[in-house]
Amino acid sequence: MLDIMVAYAGPLAEAPRLSEIVARAVVTLLTIVAGLAVLMILIGGVLYMTAAGDRARMDLAKKTVVGSVVGLTIAIVSLVIVQAVAKLV
pLDDT of 49-59, one tens digit each? 999 999 999 99
Q: In a 3-state reduction of DSSP, which class is residue 14? A: helix
Q: State residue 13's pLDDT score.
A: 66
Q: State residue 65's pLDDT score.
A: 96
Looking at the chain, list the stretches that DSSP marks H as alpha helix, in order from N- to C-terminal side.
Answer: 18-49, 55-88
- Classify residue 50 by its DSSP letter: T
Averaged pLDDT for residues 56-77: 93
Domain residues of the chain, as ranges?
A: 16-88
Between CA 14 and CA 42 the distance in angstroms is: 43
Mean pLDDT of the chain: 84
pLDDT at residue 64 tops 60: yes
Q: State residue 40's pLDDT score.
A: 95
pLDDT of 6-48, one tens digit each? 556 666 667 788 878 877 888 898 889 889 999 999 999 999 9
